[in-house]
Amino acid sequence: MDNKWVIETQDLTKRYGNFTAVDSLNLTLNKGEVFGLLGPNGAGKTTTILMLLGLTERTSGRVQVLGFDPARQPLQVKARVGYLPDQIGFYDDLTARENLSYIAKLNGIPRVEARQRIDSLLARVGLSDVVNKVVGAFSRGMRQRLGVAEVLLKEPQVIIMDEPTLGLDPEAARQFLAMIREMKHEGITIMLSSHLLHQVQAVCDRVGLFQKGRMVLEGPVSELAQKVLGGGYQLHLEVNGQPAPIERALLNLTDVTDVTHAGNRFTVKARRDLRADAARAAIQAGGNLLALDVDAPSLDEIYTQYFQEVEHVHA
């Protein structure tokens, strides 16, 4: 049993009757990594998560979470892994504290210790004012924060979250992402699924793109951009001078795929971050460089482009 990986799956497969929900998944997560699961509805993200936790039995394949097999040693896994389900519910007629106390008891955390942890966690997620309010009166965002407090209660080594920012307002989502970075800082390994691509891009070290039960793309966003978009960097230049020679000079740079301009604003599409070369080229072509900016490739574009290509192939 090698403990190099925090999560490791080999040919993990789940079938419901004849339907294959997850198909031969091979996935590894490093300690302290934030991994994003992406993909259309029904792609198998939730099913994968449930198998990692031992909440659904796999059909075949191998899974190790922190060196434990979730099907045979579910208690070991669940004592160390925090799970935030996609549809998070609490006992509506219990208070925030009572809800967390119950979870603490199920985890066998001693009473006094549990009380301290609950107080500090509720403060950390900004719910100190409503500790003794019944959860039935909580808003969606408050429940989500309570969910985060609950996940942290057992001091997990791994946190798995299914669409954690669903239904959060932009400010709440921003705070939530900050919280994820904090947890990563504490050395917690995190796996999250989401449909909000810019959020995934903002926090994830690596993403996996699921389609019909298979992981079709996997890697850091920049690598995927290379694979799918062939780069995907966009440079914005503001240059005073003759547009024609400047445009020609920019087009002649290696790794540039396209140049357009409107007035003195040029847009360059490139496979790499070409800021330095573009600035030099513009100046050498007799222009006065006023501004220079770059858009890194966005996950949004990668996602859209990938699925357009796939549709194209199928059509």
Partner 1 sequence: MSMLKPALSLPSDQIPGKQSDQPQVTQPATRRGREGSPWTGLWAVVTKDMADHLTSTRMRILEILIVLTAAGTVYAAMQTLRTTVSEDPFLFLKLFTTARDPLPAFVSFLSFLVPLIAIALTFDAVNGEFNQRTLSRVLAQPIYRDALLMGKFLASFFTLTLVLTAIWLLIIGLGILGLGLPPNGEEVVRAFTFLIATIFYGGIWLALALVFSTVFRQPATAALASIAVWLFFIIFWGIVADVVAQVIRPITIGMPQELLAQAELAQTLARFSPNTLYVEAMMGLLHPAVRSFGFVLPSELQGAMLGAPLPLDQSLLLIWPQITGLIAGTLLLFALCYTLFQRQEIRA
Q: Provide the binding-site residues for ligand ATP, judged by CB under 6 A.
A: 16, 19, 21, 39, 41-47
The token pair that represents 267 in the structure block: 């847009």
Q: 142-171 mask for Mg ion (x: CB under 5 A)?
A: ------------------------------
Return the number of the residue (59 or 240) whose C-beta is nearest ligand ATP.
59
Q: How many residues does the chain have?
A: 315
Query: Where on the phi/psi map is residue 41: left (φ > 0), alpha (ψ -120 to 50), or beta?
Result: beta
The entry of partner 1, Mg ion, ligand ATP, none that residue 43 binds, CB within 5 to 8 Å by partner kind: ligand ATP
Tokens of 288: 């006065």
Q: How many residues bind Mg ion (CB under 5 A)?
A: 1
Q: Name the H helices within the chain.
A: 45-52, 74-80, 96-106, 111-124, 140-153, 170-185, 197-203, 221-229, 243-251, 275-284, 299-314
What's the min distance (Å) between Cβ of 56 and partner 1? 7
Nearer to partner 1, 104 or 130 (CB): 104
When binding is defined by CB under 5 A, the residue of 46, 48, 64, 189 that contacts Mg ion is 46
Residue 67 binds partner 1 (CB under 8 A)? no
Q: Is residue 141 part of the contact set for partner 1 (CB under 8 A)?
A: no
Local structure of 19: helix, strand or coil: strand
Q: Does 1 bind partner 1 (CB under 8 A)?
A: no
Question: Among 25-33, 75-83, 244-252, 295-303, which window interacts with partner 1 (CB under 8 A)?
Answer: 75-83
Residue 300 near residue 194, CB atoms below 8 Å: no
- To the nearest whole angstrom, how small is the minimum distance from the Cβ of residue 102 to partner 1? 5
Instruction: Please enumerate in sequence order all residues whose Cβ is within 8 A of that of 276, keeping only pairs 6 or more positions apart, or say none.
Output: none
Judged by CB under 8 A, does residue 198 bind partner 1?
no
What is the closest distance, in whole angstroms, from the C-beta atom of residue 46 to ligand ATP in the complex? 3
Nearer to ligand ATP, 46 or 101 (CB): 46
183 CB-contact burial (10 Å; exposed 0-12 / middle 13-18 / buried 19+): buried
